[in-house]
Structure 1
Amino acid sequence: MGEKSAWVESHLDIVLVPAGFLMLVIYHGCLLHKILTHPQATFVGINTIHRQAWVQAIMKDGMKNGVLAVQTIRNGIMASTLLASTAITLCSVVGLLVGMGGSPNELTFYGMTGPLTSSVKFLVLLGCLLVAFLCHVQCVRYYSDVSFLIITPPASPEMEDFHVEYVSSMFKKGAYFWSVGLRAFYLCVPLFLWNFGPIPMFVASCLLLVFLHSLDRPGEDLSAVHDIKSSKRTKKIGHLPFMHRDVS
């Protein structure tokens, strides 16, 4: 009986941990598909559209709106810098715990135990924190470039359209790195609870899934309203001088 119970406990990690990861991977795969095919159905897509419109509005009169643009982007740089510092600090703490031999087995409720298992859990958590750190560093990089490019006039009138689109794309990439970095922080919660066993990790993954769904989906009513407004805004922006292209 004792051997059967030990066998069941040791296989909880094999069943629950991959199931928790698989749910999160499938969810983010579906979210990415929505962002690419129907961005108005997600807050990430809606924010991307609004960021692009904001950059275009700011660059219509860069000298007048320059202070507002730089201050707004500076707030994003400060937030990313804080999160990057937090991530690398937590990496140091996790590295120290790994060097000390991992977490004590007494804290694990069911599941596999042992120094090797604890080290693997902490190394996975360390990898997730490193991803968060690198994403926020890249976010700072893109935002720093945008902060001076957004108020820099194009090299020639013919380059105006390209200049606006280039700055918009860099601002969008910085925002994407910000989102991925935040999600890496979110993922650290179930990874940390994995040190207490696969059951807390699986429950935390389910709760995280519900939490992310509430953050990412604006709802059908808001999505429909935004579809109408964004189509009107697109028509209005299309009449701006810098949005016309020379197709000859």
Structure 2
Amino acid sequence: MNMSSSLYDPIINQLIQHSTEIEGMSFQKESLDLVFVPSGLAIMFGYHLFLLYRCLKIPHTTVIGFENNDKKAWIESIMQEGDNKNASMALSVISSSVSAATFFSSVCLTLSSVMGAVLTTNSSILESDFIYGDTRPATLSVKYTCLLVCFLLAFSCFIQSSRCFIHATFLITMPNSNITAKHVETTVIRAGDFWSFGLRSLYFALTLLLWFFGPIPMFVSSVVMVVLLHYLDTNTTPLHQHAKRPAKHPMLG
């Protein structure tokens, strides 16, 4: 009896070791979300905090600052001319911006409704073993909630962008007013800031969408997104020094 037990002891030990390795692998698979997802979000938030610092301190190195410089020159030119033709041209430009912001807000609201409908249905595909990560129902609910928050935030930002653009049309077309170009510049630039916030929320939503396929695709997409955004947000062209035109004065009769 002792000899038979001694013969089976190595086999039993190997089975116990193999089961322990399997349990360790399952634990690592579920804990990947705790490592890669916060890391990816930290990279995204860190980059946008760095971009905010550049926009406030050294705006000429960013595309946002470059565009704001051109917007200021455009508004000063429109307000100095005081011509109905230029006012109608300005309204056409702002109207196109309002249409774009309204379109994106409608898309975000539609996606939010779709996510709300998905929350009430079973998602057996996203719980399959092909997804290397945590596929528990509680984790899926967190994923849906984060994605829904990004879509709703983008919707709110695009709506506020439309509101500011519409307010700018009232300021530009106000007859016989003493409104300065600085006041109109502040409104238009604020609208552009809300537009940028809405787009950034969609960028976050894209990375969170890949989280449904595992934490590793989410982390990789965050790194790739930051690299692309850094390339697109960086401006190397010197700011154009727009010459101010002298204001036209009415003819004395």
TM-score by length of 1: 0.86
**TM-fit CA distance, 1:69:** 0.2
Name the residue aligned to 1:125: 147
* Distance of 1:94 and 1:108 partners within structure 2: 22
Per the alignment, do residues 27 and 130 of structure 1 end up closer, same or farther by CA in structure 2, a change over 3 Å counting? same
The range that moved more, 103-112 or 55-64, is 103-112
* Partner SS for 1:196: coil
> Could you say which residue in structure 1 is the equivalent of 2:215?
198
* Contact 2:105–2:154, Cα closer than 8 Å, also in 1: yes
- Change over 3 Å in CA distance of 1:108–1:181 after alignment to 2: farther
SS state at 1:58 partner? helix
- Kept in 1: contact 2:128–2:135 (CA 8 A): no
User: What's the Cα RMSD here?
Assistant: 1.8
Question: Is 1:27 matched up with 2:63?
Answer: no
Residues 82-93 of structure 1 correspond to what in structure 2 (within 5 A)? 82-93=103-114
Query: Structure 2: how far apart are the matches of 1:64 and 1:94?
Result: 45
Cα–Cα, structure 1 residues 33 and 141, in superposed 2: closer, same or farther, change >3 Å?
Answer: same
More helix by share: 1
CA contact (8 A) 2:153 2:201 kept: yes
2:95 counterpart residue number? 74
Alpha-carbon displacement from aligned partner over 1:165-208 (angstroms, at most 9, x marks no partner): 11110000000001111111121111011011100100111111
Is structure 2 residue 173 aligned with structure 1 residue 151? yes
From 134, 148, 160, the equivalent of 1:112 is 134
Does the CA contact (< 8 Å) of 2:66 and 2:235 recur in 1?
A: no
Of the three residues 139, 146, 149, the one matched with 2:161 is: 139
Between the aligned partners of 1:47 and 1:166, the Cα distance in structure 2 is 18
Q: 1:151 to 1:122 in 2, by over 3 A?
A: same
Q: Report if the CA contact (8 A) 1:107-1:196 is conserved.
A: no
Unaligned runs of 5+ in 1: 243-248
Task: Report what 1:10 is aligned to.
Answer: 30
Higher mean displacement: 179-188 or 123-132: 179-188
Q: Which has the larger radius of gyration?
A: 2
CA contact (8 A) 1:16 1:199 kept: yes
Identity score, percent? 35
Say which SS state the counterpart of residue 75 (structure 1) adopts.
helix
Cα pair distance change 1:4/1:129, threshold 3 Å: same
Q: Give runs of aligned pairs for residues 185-224 of structure 1, distance below 5 A.
A: 185-219=202-236, 222=237
1: CA distance, partners of 2:174 / 2:79: 9
SS at match of 1:187: helix
Q: Structure 2 residue aligned with 1:167, among 184, 195, 202?
A: 184
Aligned residues of 1:102 and 1:119 also touching (Cα < 8 A): no
CA displacement at 1:97 relative to structure 2? 0.8
The residue aligned with 1:245 is none
Q: Following TM superposition, by how much is the alpha carbon of 1:20 offset from its aligned partner in structure 2, in angstroms?
A: 0.5
Aligned partner of residue 30 in structure 1, secondary structure: helix
Secondary structure of 2:92's aligned partner: helix
Distance 2:188 2:164 in 1: 7
Match of 1:37 among 57, 63, 82: 57
More deviation, 146-155/163-172: 146-155
Partner Cα separation in structure 1 for residue 176 and residue 136 of structure 2:
61
Alignment correspondent of 1:246? none
What is the aligned length?
226
Distance of 2:60 and 2:27 partners within structure 1: 48
Report the 3-state secondary structure (helix = DSSP H, G, I; strand = E; otherwise coil) of the residue aligned with 2:212.
Answer: helix
User: 1:61 is matched with which residue: 77, 81, 100?
Assistant: 81
CA distance in 2: counterparts of 1:46 and 1:66, whole angstroms: 24
